[in-house]
Amino acid sequence: MQKTIITTEDNVNLSALWWPAEAVRSVLLLHMMPATKESWTELAEKLAQAGMNVLAIDLRGHGESQGGDYKEFTPDQHQQYILDAEAAMEFLRRHYALGEIFLGGASIGANIAIKYMAKHPQVLKGFALSAGLDYYGVKAIDDIPKLQPTQNIFLAAARDDIRKSGGDCGKMAEELYDAAGGKKEKLIFETGGHGTDMFVSHPELYDKIVEFLG
């Protein structure tokens, strides 16, 4: 594992962890709030062991990345996370131009992953942990129907994960699943918490994601 810096098109320096491998497949991981890139370490190591290059970034305003304090962001500033995903995916394309690149995220990172896939149909697989219909103006419910028949999205969430809106992420995952274009899979737990916290009570989720991306 290596540390690196990735610069976005609007000149924000992002801190990243990179697990390079002699592989043709790569995966970008986008964390939830208020987590950081380190929240993906165990999954990243499992993906690397399965023969994938892995990149996990600190979104702007989080962890060691520049961009201010995410707790003070406006909805418009939260929308700029898509620029972080664009820069990170470009980093992977520069290093692994001939291979497939997938991505996944948790919470708002999941919504950003869905938005990225909707904009880039060449990304054939993605996973979304505890995606929301609308997190801080990042509206997965508007983006997920745009997925193409060649794309495949895996949604995972828990019913005990109640958001400020009063809805639970399990129900939201089902709504997103029903609205999704392309191929789709879902895994809804009765309990498990939010985003990458689900790995604690459901370690089998690691293997499910590795299998899905494999």
Look at residues 94, 111, 92 and name the one whose alpha carbon lies nearest to residue 102. Answer: 92
Burial 115-143 (b: 16+ CB within 10 A, else e): bbbbeeeebebbbbbbbbbebbebbbbeb
Q: What is the pLDDT of residue 195?
A: 97
- pTM higher than 0.85, yes or no? yes
The alpha carbon of 153 is separated from its chain's Cα centroid by a whole number of angstroms, namely 11
Q: CB atoms < 10 A from the CB of 100, how many?
A: 16
- Inter-CA distances, 102 with 11, 44, 163, Å: 24, 13, 27
Q: What is the pLDDT of residue 98?
A: 66
Q: What CATH code is assigned to 2-213?
A: 3.40.50.1820
Q: Give pLDDT tens digits along the chain (214 positions).
A: 999 999 999 999 999 999 998 778 999 999 999 999 999 999 999 999 999 999 999 999 999 999 999 999 999 999 999 999 999 999 999 988 768 999 999 999 999 999 999 999 999 999 999 999 999 999 999 999 999 999 999 999 999 999 877 789 999 999 999 999 999 999 999 999 999 999 999 999 999 999 999 8
Q: What is the pLDDT of residue 211?
A: 98
Residue-wise DSSP of the chain: -EEEEEE-TT--EEEEEEE--S-SEEEEEEPPTT--GGGGHHHHHHHHHTTEEEEEEPPTTSTT--SS-GGG--HHHHHTHHHHHHHHHHHHHHH-TTSEEEEEEETHHHHHHHHHHHH-TT--EEEEES--S-BTTB-HHHHGGG--TT-EEEEEEETT-B-TTS-BHHHHHHHHHHH--SEEEEEEESS--SGGGHHHH-THHHHHHHHHH-
Domain edges within the chain: 2-213
